[in-house]
């Protein structure tokens, strides 16, 4: 038998003491309070979104966030968009594909492209594809945010990315985003920041931020606007991401997996949502599979008496309920997919090209 199933609904309540989960909950809460679901219902006469008149001088553009794993790119996109569009975790290589977060204001639209962290240890095909996704975002962008973690000195991967940007960003403005400034002791700040600046002497602008605390996010947004060209709206005003509801659900479940799984298991896991539908009683039924690579990883994911899977399911269900704005019945299965990280067909099933 390669499949196991535990119904997680309502069995274990996890105290939400983890600041990351609280952070993501408050983002979702704010989003749902404001909008109720993934996109806004427009009131009044429907008008084709791309025919609505725009003010003179309307600006728009694509802003790619590039950086090594774990520096806070996804946290930053969520903060800039004001909604949770990308999952976040303490574990490196959380983001696996490009994720857009869209901000629409009366006079501008910015499409943020969150990318997988670029690193120099690609042991599997999936890692190569992740890095390809990130590198491919560079020439598509109007502005590039080179996100670094200033809480520690520049890493070899930062040096590698700086070289990549020097070669590939061409005439595009590159901003240094000096993130995690909340973790940088004041006495080290000047020397540390200068050591990052030295990596890319041609940068166009630089901004210390704390994506976690929201520091300088508004200022960064304003600086970005100065560098964006005049242009149209590329997306309807009420769209905050280009991910499908299936993809968002899978990512929210994967975030819970990343939170509870340890060592090699998080990297060996993937989530595929197979069914998602609202039932007559108003409950949204979601059926998903958690892939692991080896038989030995399955009992780890399920835990003794199914406790681990119940914890994952309980946290994921809460996030999914906020996301759909109603009750969710989550049917979670663990499935062994040998070597899926190196298997083209498996990777295609997960949406990789
Ligand atoms: N102290 C502090 N922590 C932060 C900040 N921004 C992000 N983090 C934390 O850093 C960790 C990684 O954040 P992510 O947003 O997932 O990082 P990422 O760059 O998207 O990582 P990958 O997707 O793996 O490339 C999480 O634990 C975040 O809560 C910040 O400004 N300050
Ligand atoms: Mg990320």
Report the pocket of ligand 1 as residue ranges, CB < 6 Å.
20, 67, 69-75, 88-90, 92-95, 116-117, 179-180, 182-183, 210-212
**Ordered domains of the chain (ranges, CATH):** 3-19+243-349 (3.30.300.20), 59-227 (3.40.50.300)
Q: Give the pLDDT confidence score for residue 123 in this predicted structure.
A: 83
Ligand 1 pocket mutation pick from 212, 258, 259, 267 by most atoms within 8 angstroms of CB: 212
Q: Which atom number of ligand 1 is nearest to the Cα of residue 151?
A: 1
The mean of the pLDDT values for the chain is: 89
Q: What is the pLDDT of residues 37-74, one digit of tens each?
A: 445 445 566 678 777 789 999 999 999 999 999 999 99
Please report the pLDDT score of residue 50 as a whole number.
79
Closest C-alpha residue for ligand 1 atom 29 = 20
Segments of the chain with pLDDT less than 70: 1-46
Answer for the pair 94, 74: CB distance below 8 angstroms, yes or no: yes
Relative to beta strand 205-208, strand 174-179 is parallel
pLDDT (0 to 100) of residue 44: 60
The predicted-structure confidence for 151-195, as pLDDT tens digits, reads as follows 999 999 999 999 999 999 988 999 999 999 999 999 999 999 999
Residue 41: the pLDDT is 47
Q: Pairing mode, if any, of strands 108-114 and 205-208?
A: unpaired
The pLDDT, as a whole number, for residue 34 is 52
Residues 309, 315 contacting (CB under 8 angstroms) = no
């Amino acid at each position: 038998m390669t499949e196991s199933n535990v119904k997680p609904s309502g069995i274990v309540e996890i105290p939400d003491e983890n600041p990351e989960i609280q952070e993501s909950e408050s983002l979702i809460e704010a989003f749902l309070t404001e909008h109720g679901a993934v996109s806004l219902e427009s009131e009044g006469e429907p008008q084709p979104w791309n025919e609505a008149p725009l003010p003179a001088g309307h600006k728009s553009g694509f802003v790619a966030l590039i950086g090594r794993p774990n520096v806070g790119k996804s946290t930053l996109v969520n903060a800039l968009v004001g909604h949770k569009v990308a999952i976040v975790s303490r574990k490196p290589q959380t983001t696996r594909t490009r994720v857009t977060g869209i901000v629409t204001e009366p006079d501008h639209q910015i499409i943020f492209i969150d990318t997988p962290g670029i690193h120099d240890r690609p042991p599997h095909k999936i890692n190569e594809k992740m890095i390809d996704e990130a590198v491919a975002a560079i020439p598509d962008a109007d502005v590039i945010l080179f996100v670094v973690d200033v809480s520690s000195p520049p890493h070899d991967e930062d040096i590698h990315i700086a070289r990549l940007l020097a070669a590939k960003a061409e005439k595009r403005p590159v901003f240094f985003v000096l993130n995690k400034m909340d973790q940088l002791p004041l006495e080290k700040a000047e020397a540390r920041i200068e050591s990052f600046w030295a990596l890319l002497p041609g940068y166009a602008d630089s901004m210390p931020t704390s994506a976690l605390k929201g520091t300088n996010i508004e200022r960064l947004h304003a600086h970005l606007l100065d560098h964006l060209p005049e242009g149209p709206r590329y997306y309807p005003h009420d769209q905050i991401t280009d991910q499908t509801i299936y993809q968002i659900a899978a990512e929210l479940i994967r975030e819970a997996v990343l939170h509870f799984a340890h060592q090699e298991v998080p990297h060996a896991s993937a989530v595929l949502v197979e069914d998602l539908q609202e039932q007559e009683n108003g409950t949204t039924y979601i059926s998903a599979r958690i892939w692991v690579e080896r038989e030995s990883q399955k009992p780890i994911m399920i835990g003794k008496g199914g406790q681990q899977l119940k914890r994952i399911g309980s946290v994921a269900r809460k996030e999914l309920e906020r996301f759909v704005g109603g009750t969710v019945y989550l049917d979670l299965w663990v499935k062994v997919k040998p070597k899926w990280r190196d298997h083209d067909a498996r990777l295609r099933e997960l949406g990789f090209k």
